[in-house]
Amino acid sequence: MSPPVPQIDVLAVFSHPDDAELSVSGTLLKLKSLGYTTGVCDMTRGEMGTRGNPEIRAREALEAARILKLDVRLNLEQPDGHVWPTEEARTAMVRVIRQYQPKVVITAHWDDPHPDHANTARIVRQAARLATMARYDGESGMPAVAMPSIMHSIFSRLVVPSFIVDVSDFVDEKMQAIRSHSSQFYDETSREPETRISDKNFLEQIEHRMRYFGSLISVAAGEPFYVREALNVEDPVALLTRPMNIYS
């Protein structure tokens, strides 16, 4: 009998092998430092990418996982560019949720302009609910689980963050994890075609964005999240006496 799979406290589910790094890796590093187990599940192998190929991208993802100290990195091998909330995709996600029983799932926002990102958010929301229904995918023999909470990473100014996580202590490791995906980002020796994200300015913009969201809570760097459900606050005084910025 194979050993039981460890429970993962926080699972980040994104579309392409570098998405979690670009969006939420500061938060994953912080949660790991707080003692939580963390994992990333990529929906696709990124085979539609203009640069690199699935084998290179898988190696880069493992290197980034090492830097992020992830307990697990999974890949659902959905078709890149064609991520849809199909029965097959939802069932695959339900099985991951039932196997690892995350307390919190982090994913993209459903209004993301990239269809794969938006559909990944939909698959996660649907699968989180379906995983609680004993008869959904009953043939797998996996028991139903409690529904994980979901936090959405946001990029659009049109979505107001529910909260911002202070990741000031993890900026260098985050940028190092992103740079592990060297086939995708700026490399002056690369002869591959240039893309939006391989432009020299792209990584600077990622860091500037972190600094901007940090400024909104008066810290050096932050990552913003949206939670659709009302937040249940035990102690509003403790919450509201943390550093804030009245000009946010």
* Interacting residues toward Zn ion by CB under 5 A: 15-16, 19
Whichever of 43 and 219 has its CB closer to Zn ion, that residue is: 43
- Least distance in angstroms from the C-beta of 45 to Zn ion: 12
Residue pair 167/27 in contact by the 8 Å Cβ criterion: yes
Using CB positions, name the residue nearest to Zn ion.
16
Quote the least distance from Cβ 53 to Zn ion, whole Å: 16
Q: Least distance to Zn ion from the beta carbon of 234, Å? A: 36
Q: Which CB, 19 or 173, lies closer to Zn ion?
A: 19
Q: Which residues have CB under 8 Å from 80's CB, separation 6+? A: 15, 16, 44, 45, 46, 47, 48, 49, 116
Toward Zn ion, which CB reaches closer, 19 or 166? 19
CB of 52 to Zn ion, least distance (A): 13
DSSP string, the chain: -PPPPPP-SEEEEESSTTHHHHHHHHHHHHHHHTT--EEEEEEE--TT-SSS-HHHHHHHHHHHHHHTT-SEEEEEEEPTT-----HHHHHHHHHHHHHH--SEEEE--TT-SSHHHHHHHHHHHHHHHHTT-TTTTGGG-PPP-PPPEEEEE---TTS--SEEEE-GGGHHHHHHHHHT-TTTS--TT--SPP-TTTSHHHHHHHHHHHHHHHHTTTSS-EEEEE-SSPP--S-HHHHHTS---TT-
Nearest distance in Å: CB 174, Zn ion: 16
Shortest Cβ 203–Zn ion spacing (Å): 15
